[in-house]
């Protein structure tokens, strides 16, 4: 086999290795879409939207928040962040957005929605990133490293914000 063929085989193997590593990375760290469903559909007094990307950490936060709001007879809609629309600002009393930063940027749908909303007080953003240090400007919220050990603190901060926005009374469990 001549040098040229050997060189091409090595290049093909290197390309294949990169493809396999990329495929494994996407499988392990890729972002899943948030489930869409509604809780307390017949209640219209208070409405909360949770737009989210699915992950173990965000799913834990979401389930705790839904449970909390369900006990207080609040209508809760859940959907993937890609479905956010400007008109939703008028449909909901509070909007919680849970997203992951990728490549040092929030997802395009989140950037667009927050820009259109222009510092609305009814938006709470939970941003996750490796360093827990990336957050959108002009919105309330928290940033996290998706650490399950910190989840309860993040839930408590979000519930405090919800109580203020929706004027909810705390209920003893």
> Is 171 a member of any domain?
no
CB 59 within 8 A of CB 151: no
Which structural domain, as residue segments, surrounds residue 9?
A: 1-30
94 with 48: CB under 8 angstroms? yes
Tell whether 70 and 128 lie within a shared domain. yes
**E strand spans, the chain:** 32-33, 37-39, 47-54, 75-80, 94-100, 123-128, 140-144
Q: Looking at the structure, tell me whether residues 3 and 83 fall in a common domain.
A: no
Q: Three-class SS of residue 92?
A: coil
pLDDT, tens digit only, all 173 positions of the chain: 688 888 889 999 999 998 887 776 655 555 666 666 677 778 778 999 999 887 888 889 999 999 999 999 999 999 998 888 888 888 999 999 998 887 777 888 888 888 888 767 888 988 887 665 666 666 667 777 777 888 899 999 999 999 999 987 665 54
Same domain, 8 and 76: no
- Count of domains forming the chain: 2
């Amino acid at each position: 086999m001549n040098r040229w063929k050997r060189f091409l085989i090595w290049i093909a193997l290197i390309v294949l290795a990169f493809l396999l590593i990329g495929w494994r990375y996407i499988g392990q760290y890729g972002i899943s879409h948030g489930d869409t469903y509604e809780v307390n559909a017949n209640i219209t007094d208070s409405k909360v939207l949770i737009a989210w990307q699915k992950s173990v950490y965000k799913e834990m936060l979401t389930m705790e928040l839904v449970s909390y709001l369900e006990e207080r007879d609040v209508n809760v809609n859940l959907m993937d962040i890609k479905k956010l629309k400007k008109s939703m600002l008028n449909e909901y009393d509070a909007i919680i957005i849970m997203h992951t930063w990728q490549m040092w940027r929030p997802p395009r749908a989140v950037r667009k929605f927050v820009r259109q909303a222009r510092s609305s007080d009814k938006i709470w953003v939970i941003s996750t990133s490796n360093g827990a240090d990336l957050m959108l400007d002009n919105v309330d919220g928290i940033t996290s490293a998706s650490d399950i050990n910190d989840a309860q603190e993040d839930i408590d901060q979000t519930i405090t914000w919800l109580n203020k926005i929706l004027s909810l009374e705390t209920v003893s469990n």
